[in-house]
Amino acid sequence: MFNRIVILAGLLITPITALAQWVEVDSGIPGNVHTLLADSDYLFAGSDSGVYRSSDDGVSWVPAGLKDTNVFAFAKGGSELFAGNDKNVFLSSNEGLSWNAINSLPRGYLGVQAILVSDSTVIVGVYQSSIERSTDNGITWRPAQGGSALEYSFVSNDGYFFAGTSNGIIRSIDTGATWTSASNGWPANSEVWGLARLGTIIVAGVSTAYDTSVYISTDSGSTWSGVGNGPSFVYSFAVLGSNIFAGNGEGDLFLSTDSGRDWSRASLTGLMDGISPILSIVIRGPFLFMCAAGNGVWRFPLSELIPSNSVVTAALPNTSITAYPNPFTERATIQFSSPESGTAEVSIVNALGMKVAQIFSGTLEAGEHSFLWDGHGFAPGMYECLVKMGGRLERVSIVFK
C-alpha cells in the first residue's frame, strides 16, 4: 500500500474556446449508437440495429453485414474486426462486409461489455459473468481466473492487461489468463468505466459514492495518483499523442494536453441539449467523433481543440500518402505511390469535410506521383488531402499556417 498523492493542477475547470460547432453525422443509422471504432479506411458504429460503417467521416453510412442486433463493443486486431452483442462475439476479416459468429463460448451470458485483442489473444468482458479468453483468435474459449462480475473496459501496456470493473481495476501479467486487483490506494467500492493508455501511462476514470476523478499510473498499475481537477464519471477516453479526451456520464467533454495530469472543459457548441452519457470517443483524421446514449454520432474538427502540430499526428495509419512540409506556409508537395494504373482523383477538403480544391482528376500510371498544392487564397487551418484510386480512399492531414 502507499499514500495517495493528489496532483492539484488548478481548482477551476476553464473553458476552451472553439469557433467550430459539433455536427451530427449519423444519417442512415436507425436506432441508438452504443460504440465507435476508427481504422485507416472506415469509421464503424455499433448500434441497436447492427454495425454501420462510413468511408467519408460520417457524412454517409451503410450497413456493414451484421444487422438487426445490439452491438455494444468493438476491437481491432490487425486486419480482423471483432464486435460483441448481447449474445455473442462476431469476427470480420473484410472490414465488416461479412461476419462469423464465434459460437464456442462455453457458458451462456447476457452481453459483451468490452473486447481486447492482442496478437491471437482475444479477451472478452461478459456482463454479470467473468472474463472469457481465447488464444487462437476466437476458435476456443476458456474462463479467466480472477475476473470481476462486470468488466467495462480493457487496455494493454507493455505485456500487462488491465480491466476496468465494477470493483476497481484488475491486472493480468500472463495475457489475461489470471487477474488480480491493481486498485492500490483507491477508495473502496470504486467503479472504473473508462481506461486509456498514453505510452507507458495508464489513465482510469474512477467513480465511487464519495470520490469521482481520474487516476494515473506510470509504473504499469503498481501505484496510482489521483488528479485534483480531473473529470468525474468518465465513460470513455480517446488519445492523440499527449492529448487525451474524456467523455463523462453527465454529457461533458474534457481535454488534457499533458497526459492526463491537468484537465479543461472542451467545447460542446452545437450539441443538442441533454446529451448524456458520452459512451464512446474516437479520433479519425482531422476529426473527433463521439456517440452519446440515445443521441447519435457527432463530429468536431480537432484543429479547434488542440494545437495544429499535434493534429498532424492524427493522420491515418498505413497510408502511402505523404505531404511536406507539414505544417506549410506557401506550398505543400503531396506524394503517393500506386501499384497499378487507373483513374484517380486527388482533392483537398477542409475541417468540415467540404471539398475546397481539386488537385488532379484523370488517369495515372503505376508508380510514384507528386502534386503541388498552393495555399494562396486559403484560410490557415486543418485540411486533408484525399486520394481516390482503385476503389480505395487514402488520406493525409495537412496544416496550412
> pLDDT tens digits for the chain (401 residues)?
333 222 223 333 333 333 578 889 998 898 899 999 998 789 999 998 999 999 888 989 999 989 888 899 999 887 889 999 887 899 999 989 999 988 655 555 567 889 999 888 999 987 767 788 999 988 888 889 987 667 889 998 878 999 998 888 999 999 999 999 998 877 777 889 899 988 788 999 888 766 668 899 988 899 988 887 778 888 999 988 778 999 988 888 999 988 888 898 887 776 766 677 899 999 988 899 999 887 889 999 887 887 655 544 433 334 468 888 888 889 999 988 887 788 888 999 886 667 889 999 888 888 889 999 999 889 888 888 888 876 677 778 888 88
Residues 299 and 353: their CA atoms lie apart, in Å, by 10
CA distances from 201 to 163, 204, 220 (A): 15, 10, 7
SS (H, E, C) 179-245: CEECCCCCCCCCEEEEEEEECCEEEEEEECCCCEEEEEECCCCCCCEEECCCCCCEEEEEEECCEEE
Superfamily in which the 5-308 domain is placed by CATH: YVTN repeat-like/Quinoprotein amine dehydrogenase (2.130.10.10)
Q: Rg of the Cα trace of the chain?
A: 21
CA–CA separation, 339 and 180 (whole Å) = 49
Q: Which amino acid does the sequence have at 230? A: G
| C-alpha–C-alpha distance, residues 401 and 326, integer Å | 9
pLDDT of residue 352: 64
3-state secondary structure of 382: strand
Q: Range(s) for CATH 2.130.10.10 in the chain?
A: 5-308
Whole-angstrom Cα distance, residue 240 to residue 76? 17
Closest-CA residue to 237 (of 269, 211, 201): 201
CA 65, 68, 73, 78: dihedral to nearest 10 degrees?
Answer: -10
Coil vs helix vs strand at 254: strand
Backbone angles phi, psi at 312, to 5 degrees: -55, -35
**Residue 370: how many other CB atoms lie within 10 Å:** 9
Cα distance between residue 31 and residue 107, in whole Å: 29
Which of 25, 85, 31, 95 minimizes the C-alpha distance to 61? 25
* CA angle, residues 144, 150, 151, in degrees to nearest 5: 65
C-alpha cell at position 37:
471504432
**How many other C-beta atoms are found inside a 10 Å radius of the C-beta of residue 131?**
28
By 3-state DSSP, what share of the chain in percent is helix, strand and coil, each rounded to 5? 0, 50, 45
Provide the CATH number for the domain formed by 322-400 in this structure: 2.60.40.1930
Cβ-based burial of 286 (10 A; exposed 0-12, middle 13-18, buried ≥19): buried
pLDDT of residue 317: 39
Reduce the secondary structure of 101-121 to three states and give it as a string.
EECCCCCCCCCEEEEEEECCE
Do residues 245 and 288 touch, judged by C-beta distance below 8 A?
Answer: yes
Query: What DSSP state is assigned to residue 272?
Result: P
In which residue are the cell numbers 486509456 written? 196
Specify the domain boundaries for CATH 2.60.40.1930 within the chain: 322-400
Give pLDDT, residue 372: 92
Helical H segments across 298-401, by residue range: 308-311
Q: How far apart are CA 94 and CA 152, in angstroms?
A: 27
Measured between alpha carbons, how far is 247 from 205 in angstroms, rounded to an integer? 10
Residue 172 three-state SS: strand
- What is the predicted pLDDT for the residue at 18? 38
For the sheet with 131-134, list strands across it: 112-118, 121-126, 131-134, 142-143
How far apart, in whole angstroms, are the C-alpha atoms of residue 163 and residue 165?
A: 6
Strand, helix or coil for residue 390: coil
The SS3 of residue 77 is: strand
State which amino acid sits at residue 217: S
